[in-house]
Chain A
Amino acid sequence: MDLAAVLTFEILNGVATLVLISVGLAIIFGMMRVINLAHGEFLMLGGYAAIVATNHGVNIWVAMVVVAPLVVGVVGVIAERLIIRVLYGRMIDTLLATWGLSLFFIGIVTTIFGNTVAGIGAPLGSLGVGRYSISLYRLVLIGIAAAILAVIFVALRQTRLGLIARGTMENPNMAAALGVSPPRVYATTFGVGAALTGLAGGLLAPISGVLPTVGAAYVAKAFITVISGGTAILAGTAAASSLFGSVNQLLTYFTTPVIGEAGLLAAAILLLRVLPHGITGKLFKGSL
């Protein structure tokens, strides 16, 4: 019984981690169709922002939940205005430009912090479950991941800004003909996607530590999750995260982490072979 509870916790934790690292990309790539190869570096910047802020006396929760998304959101808006804005609709050019951006961020951060792992201690403590113990912080992360999905859903479905964002992404020219400024909507949406990615980087920093090249470990998983999720950015990200997180954690538990990672990739390949338009291309059609 205790083992089942711990295993369930591990699976939920794996799902939550995938949701966190993918949700910003779901907005930037899923909604805006921008292939942001600097997504991993946005996560890395969020991690460093949280660590630097904490080391300068900022409360760790404020550092992770406020400073990290704020810093990366601003970086995202600047990147959108200077680089991405002139490349909308030019997928290959965007891919190359954001790759260059990722190398730029890695270089800058390496110069400032060095190529070593930085970290902060995870807050909270642990919770005993029979003979086992689970991290309370990881438990909170599961709740935060669920809350992020719920907040984005409500924001897109119920708010004026969410409606404008959805309409503009569907048809920017028509939105403009109705008085909406597409450049402003794009900048805001990109900034929100970047901020969510920064939030994820900040929240994951106490668990995985941060180094300048840590983004590479996240970016592939994030793209796999969002692409496998399909057109519905939230339902797709949640469904794909649930599937891949479960496969990864179960295989990791019964074999090794390496096989767990390989299992995640194999599941993605199999899924896209069977459902080429992703999970929500077949299921949950019309949902967000």
Chain B
Amino acid sequence: MLSVTDLHARYGRIPILNGICLEVAAGEFVGVLGHNGMGKTTLLKTLMGFVPVQRGRILFDGADVTHEAAYVRARRGLGYVPQGREIFPGLSVRDNLRMGFVGRGAEERVDAIVQTFPRLVPLLNRRGGALSGGEQQLLAIARCLAGNPRLILFDEPTEGIQPSIIEELVAVLQTLHRKQALTIVLVEQNLEFIAELATRVLLIQKGAILRELQPGELRQAGVLSEFIGVDRA
């Protein structure tokens, strides 16, 4: 479904991605792990079209989207839940969801989506900016789903979120992956979270994919110390 070949990207003159190669099949749940500053967020931004590609190629469902604008990729079915949520703070929760699907039948679509997120139902008329971090994260996921994507790029959804909502996020993402057969690429630093959800994990270092792991391997002290910089007793 997603095929990335020799992807290079940079901010100004600073190279961030240095030849990423990545294949994601339909229905897969792929985790991406790495230190801060290794290019995880830039990888997702480049896949979504917010960072220009210097070299390499991105194929989505067989179509070359390497130089397409973000909104064209979104219309093709690429969804994005960014780090920091980036909900529209001045819009109501309902309008945030309607932004995810602005075609005809938006109201029905919004009503259907919030069934998966019952916590949002009593908040529909509240301004997005007035929600807690966890509620905003649920809203960001719901808004992305409103657009009916086939592949979703998640950027650190647990960042700054209270543990009770993280459990809810795990349940939501498992439902999306298993029951709705969505393809997911998840960038995360929360090892437990990624180990519980991903079917395989890619380690990114200095803007390149260093190694592929099975989720179970994330609990091995040697792997954690060597590739992620986490020392676990």
In the complex, chain B residues whose CB is within 8 Å of the CB of A173: 50, 70, 86
| Residues of chain A lying within 8 A (CB to CB) of residue B74 | 176-179
Measured between beta carbons, the chain B residues less than 8 angstroms from A160 are 102, 106
Interface string of B189-202 (1 = CB under 8 A from A): 00000000000000
> With an 8 A cutoff between CB atoms, is B40 at the interface?
no
* Known contacts A173-B50, A174-B82, A286-B127: A180-B102 contact under CB 8 Å: yes
Interchain CA distance A286-B90 in the complex, whole Å: 7
Q: Which of A46-54, A62-70, A87-95, A161-169 contacts the other chain?
A: A161-169
User: When each residue 18-45 of chain A gets 1 if its CB lies under 8 Å from chain B and 0 otherwise, what string results?
Assistant: 0000000000000000000000000000
The reply to whether A178 and B127 form a contact with Cβ atoms under 8 Å apart is: no
In the complex, the answer to whether A167 meets B88 with C-beta atoms within 8 Å is yes
> What's the minimum C-beta distance from B124 to chain A, rounded to whole angstroms?
14
Are B90 and A166 closer than 8 Å at their CB atoms? yes
User: Within the complex, what minimum Cβ distance (angstroms) separates B72 from chain A?
Assistant: 8
> A181 — nearest CB in chain B belongs to which residue?
B71
Chain B residues with CB under 8 A of A182: 71
Majority secondary structure, A binding face:
helix
Q: Is the CB of A167 within 8 A of B71?
A: no
Q: Which of B45-104 contact A (CB under 8 A)?
A: 48-50, 69-71, 74-75, 79-80, 82, 86-91, 95-96, 98-100, 102
How far is the CB of B96 from the nearest CB of chain A, in Å? 8
Q: Which of B50, B99, B143 contacts A180 (CB 8 A)?
A: B99
Q: Which residue of the partner chain A has the closest CB to B143?
A: A178
Number of interface residues of A (CB under 8 A): 18
B207 at the interface (CB under 8 A from A): no
Residues of chain B contacted by A2 (CB below 8 angstroms): none
Query: In whole Å, how far is B232's beta carbon from the nearest beta carbon of chain A?
Result: 35
In the complex, the answer to whether B91 meets A179 with C-beta atoms within 8 Å is no
Cβ contact of A163, chosen from B50, B82, B87, B99, cutoff 8 A: B99
CB distance from A286 to the nearest CB of B (A): 6
Does B147 sit at the interface, judged by CB under 8 A? yes
B contact residues around A118 at 8 Å (CB)? none
The answer on a CB contact under 8 Å between A164 and B127 is: no
Extra pairs beyond A163-B95, A175-B99, A181-B71 (20, CB < 8 Å): A163-B102, A164-B102, A166-B88, A167-B88, A167-B99, A170-B88, A170-B89, A170-B90, A170-B91, A171-B86, A175-B71, A176-B69, A176-B71, A177-B48, A177-B50, A178-B147, A179-B71, A179-B75, A179-B102, A286-B90
A interface residues, Cβ below 8 angstroms from B: 160, 163-164, 166-167, 170-171, 173-182, 286
The 10 listed contacts between A and B (C-beta, < 8 Å) are A163-B98, A171-B88, A174-B87, A177-B70, A178-B100, A178-B144, A178-B147, A179-B147, A180-B99, A181-B69
List 8 tightest A-B contacts by C-beta distance, closest first: A179-B74, A176-B70, A177-B80, A176-B71, A167-B99, A174-B86, A170-B88, A179-B75
